């Protein structure tokens, strides 16, 4: 018991040193400011108490086991208690590898889902969009600012809006149209835009037309997305009357649904209108290949048309990625915990293999004397561990499917998990297990049988 507690306390010292070293990296991953110091003595005291408790629990079984041995029975040829110890170690190995398989599968799914979120076509061009909050006198000088930018080769489009696709705050249920069921309380998002919004973002018009300066009435007209059209139930939308807060206009176009929120949720109904007083963001579509040059042009134009206000810009794709910070952190944490769990499981397996080989040295030697090959001995001794891994795999897969499916349900848009994805972790663990078993077994099988049979 004393030995076990001492080992646990030594492990605690190593763990505290390692924790202090890796804590800055951990804080960076989880975006926290956790610190360990002497002022955290209650936490450190709890660690010490935990280490002592672990030492007692870990030392209890061998202490009771050793003190209960019958010396005469051991000297004559062994004890049944050894079989119970081996069985207990096998159970631990199965549990460790079951957890490892679950974590490997979880890491794979989280990574694939995160990549899917980053690469999914949202219905608009987010990668080359720069936006700037409206400040100072920029809107009073917007036409000159916009015209100067459009004459530059690195600028593809300029527009303004009340919202950006990654930050949507304007919504209302105060819409009316012919045939509306007044008992329904439908909430529509509403963006104030200008005439070049659809072109600048690369949205697709599926019916009707875009806003145009050639039609003065467009200042009171509306464009709906497909989801908004579906909810209204209007069969012939183009030219239909549509009201918002009593402001009557007509539907002049329908745009293809695009994701203006996180992919945790489906596309929601959206209405576009012309309302210059509501615009809060300038968005610029820059040409690929010279981002630095385009930003320089923007800053220069901003300084000319908005004197006295600092140039502040953001990339829309960076905002989009920030919507999934939790998933990014989870992916990184899964990576580290999977490695640690797999490492610990392999250590346990190596310990079990070494214990088994020590017990079976004479058996291995006798088999060699009777002509068994190294390959034959390897196959004979590997069967047990292959069975343990298969048991761990069978146990882990249902649990992994349950957790993975539950996590993916948080996303309206998610990857389809192929059946073979569930097999890969088990195959990986099995291959590494075979490598570990092979290394230990081949080393034992190549030893001279005389070394272990000379006294028999």
The per-residue pLDDT for range 343-401, each reduced to its tens digit, is 887 887 777 777 777 777 788 888 888 888 878 887 877 787 788 888 988 898 899 88
Helix residue ranges per DSSP H, 306-422: 316-322, 325-359, 361-369, 374-408
Element (H, E) at 133: strand 129-133
| Residue ending a domain, choose from 36, 53, 68 | 68
| Residue ending a domain, choose from 302, 318, 334 | 318
How far apart, in Å, are the Cα atoms of 208 and each of 117, 125, 212, 236, 250? Answer: 31, 22, 12, 11, 11
Asked if 404 and 108 touch (Cβ cutoff 8 Å), the reply is no
Burial of 368: CB neighbours in 10 Å, binned 0-12, 13-18, 19+: buried
179, HSE (Cβ side, Cα atoms, 13 Å): 10
DSSP conformation letters of 403-429: HHHHHHTT-SS-----GGGGHHHHHHH
pLDDT surpasses 90 at 212: yes
At residue 31 the predicted structure's pLDDT band, cuts being 50, 70 and 90, is confident
Nearest to 96 by CA among 432, 307, 424, 345: 345
3 state SS of 28: helix
| Residue 260 and residue 345 in one domain | no
396 dihedral zone (left: phi>0; alpha: psi -120 to 50; beta): alpha
Q: Which residues of 247-263 are buried (b: 16+ CB within 10 A; e: fewer)?
A: eebbbbbbbebbbbbeb
| Full domain range(s) for residue 57 | 1-68
| Residue 138 and residue 164 in one domain | yes
CA separation for the pair 48, 66 (Å, rounded): 26
| Residue 97 and residue 219 in one domain | no
| Contacting residues for 344 by C-beta, under 8 A, at least 6 apart | 96
At residue 148 the predicted structure's pLDDT band, cuts being 50, 70 and 90, is very high
DSSP state of 128: T
The per-residue pLDDT for range 234-290, each reduced to its tens digit, is 989 999 999 988 789 999 999 999 999 889 989 999 999 999 889 999 999 998 888
Mean pLDDT of all residues in the chain? 86
pLDDT for 384: 78
| Residue 164 and residue 292 in one domain | yes
Q: Which residues of 375-402 are buried (b: 16+ CB within 10 A; e: fewer)?
A: eebbebbbeebeebbebbbebbbeebee
92, HSE (Cβ side, Cα atoms, 13 Å): 16
Window from 9-13, 104-108, 359-363 with minimum mean pLDDT: 359-363
Residue for token digits 């010279």? 290
pLDDT for 367: 83
| Residue 281 and residue 144 in one domain | yes
pLDDT for 237: 93
pLDDT surpasses 60 at 79: no
pLDDT for 49: 93
DSSP state of 216: G
Rounded to the nearest 10 degrees, the angle between the axes of helix 374-408 and helix 81-119 is 50
Element (H, E) at 116: helix 81-119
DSSP state of 265: S
Asked if 202 and 210 touch (Cβ cutoff 8 Å), the reply is no
pLDDT for 430: 84
| Residue ending a domain, choose from 275, 293, 318 | 318
pLDDT surpasses 80 at 40: no
CA separation for the pair 20, 37 (Å, rounded): 9
| Residue 270 and residue 141 in one domain | yes
Residue for token digits 């004197």? 307
List 253's β-bridge partners, or say none: 208, 223
Question: What count of residues does the chain have?
Answer: 456
For residue 455, the tally of other CB atoms under 10 A from its CB is 4
List 177's β-bridge partners, or say none: 242
| Residue 76 and residue 183 in one domain | no
| Residue 339 and residue 441 in one domain | yes
| Residue 22 and residue 95 in one domain | no
Residue for token digits 């989280």? 110
| Residue 261 and residue 332 in one domain | no
pLDDT for 336: 85
Nearest to 298 by CA among 198, 403, 156: 156
How far apart, in Å, are the Cα atoms of 362 and each of 75, 146, 423? Answer: 17, 87, 37
pLDDT for 84: 59
pLDDT for 286: 93
3 state SS of 168: coil
CA separation for the pair 347, 301 (Å, rounded): 63
At residue 155 the predicted structure's pLDDT band, cuts being 50, 70 and 90, is very high
DSSP state of 164: B
| Residue 214 and residue 328 in one domain | no
* Domain total of the chain: 3
3 state SS of 33: coil
Structure tokens given for 225: 């997305």
Percentage helix, strand, coil for the chain under 3-state DSSP, each rounded to 5: 60, 15, 30
CA separation for the pair 398, 378 (Å, rounded): 31
How far apart, in Å, are the Cα atoms of 454 and each of 365, 366, 451? Answer: 11, 12, 6
pLDDT for 178: 87
pLDDT for 203: 94
pLDDT for 74: 60
| Residue 201 and residue 339 in one domain | no
Helix residue ranges per DSSP H, 37-80: 41-67, 71-77
Structure tokens given for 296: 């320089």
């Amino acid at each position: 018991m004393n030995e076990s507690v001492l080992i646990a306390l030594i492990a605690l010292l190593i763990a505290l040193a390692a924790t202090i070293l890796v804590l800055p990296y951990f804080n960076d991953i989880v975006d926290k400011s956790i610190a360990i110091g002497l002022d955290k003595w209650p936490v450190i005291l709890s660690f010490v108490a935990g280490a002592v408790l672990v030492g007692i629990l870990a030392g209890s079984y061998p202490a009771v086991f050793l003190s209960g041995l019958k010396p005469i029975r051991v000297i004559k040829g062994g004890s049944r208690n050894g079989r119970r110890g081996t069985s207990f170690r096998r159970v631990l190995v199965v549990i460790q590898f079951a957890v490892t398989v679950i974590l490997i599968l979880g890491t794979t799914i989280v990574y694939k889902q995160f990549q899917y979120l980053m690469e999914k076509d949202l219905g608009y061009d987010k990668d080359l969009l720069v936006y700037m909050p409206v400040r100072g006198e920029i809107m009073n000088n917007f036409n000159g600012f916009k015209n100067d930018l459009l004459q530059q080769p690195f600028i593809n489009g300029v527009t303004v809006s009340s919202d950006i696709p990654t930050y949507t705050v304007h919504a209302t249920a105060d819409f009316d149209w012919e045939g509306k069921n007044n008992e329904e309380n439908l909430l529509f998002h509403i963006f104030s835009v200008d005439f070049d919004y659809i072109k600048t973002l690369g949205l697709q018009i599926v019916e009707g037309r875009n806003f145009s300066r050639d039609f003065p009435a467009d200042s009171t007209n509306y464009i709906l997305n497909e989801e908004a059209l579906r909810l209204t139930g209007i069969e012939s939308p183009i030219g239909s009357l549509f009201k918002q807060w009593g402001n009557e206009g007509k539907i002049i176009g329908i745009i293809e649904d695009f994701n203006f929120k996180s992919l945790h949720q489906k596309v929601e109904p959206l209405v576009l209108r012309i309302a210059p007083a509501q615009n809060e963001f300038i968005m610029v579509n820059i040409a690929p290949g010279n981002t630095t040059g385009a930003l320089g042009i923007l800053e220069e134009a901003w300084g000319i048309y908005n004197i006295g206000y600092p140039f502040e810009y953001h990339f829309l794709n960076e905002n989009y990625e920030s919507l999934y910070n939790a998933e990014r952190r989870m992916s990184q944490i899964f990576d580290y915990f999977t490695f640690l769990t797999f490492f610990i499981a392999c250590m346990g397996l190596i310990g079990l293999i070494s214990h088994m080989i020590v017990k079976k040295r004479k058996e291995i030697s006798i088999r060699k004397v009777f002509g068994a090959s190294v390959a034959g001995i390897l196959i004979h001794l590997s069967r047990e561990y292959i069975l343990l891994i298969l048991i761990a795999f069978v146990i882990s897969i249902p649990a992994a499917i349950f957790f993975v499916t539950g996590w993916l349900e948080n996303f309206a848009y998610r990857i389809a998990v192929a059946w073979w994805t569930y097999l890969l972790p088990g195959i990986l663990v099995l291959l590494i297990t075979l490598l570990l078993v092979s290394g230990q077994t081949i080393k034992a099988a190549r030893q001279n049988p005389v070394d272990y049979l000379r006294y028999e």
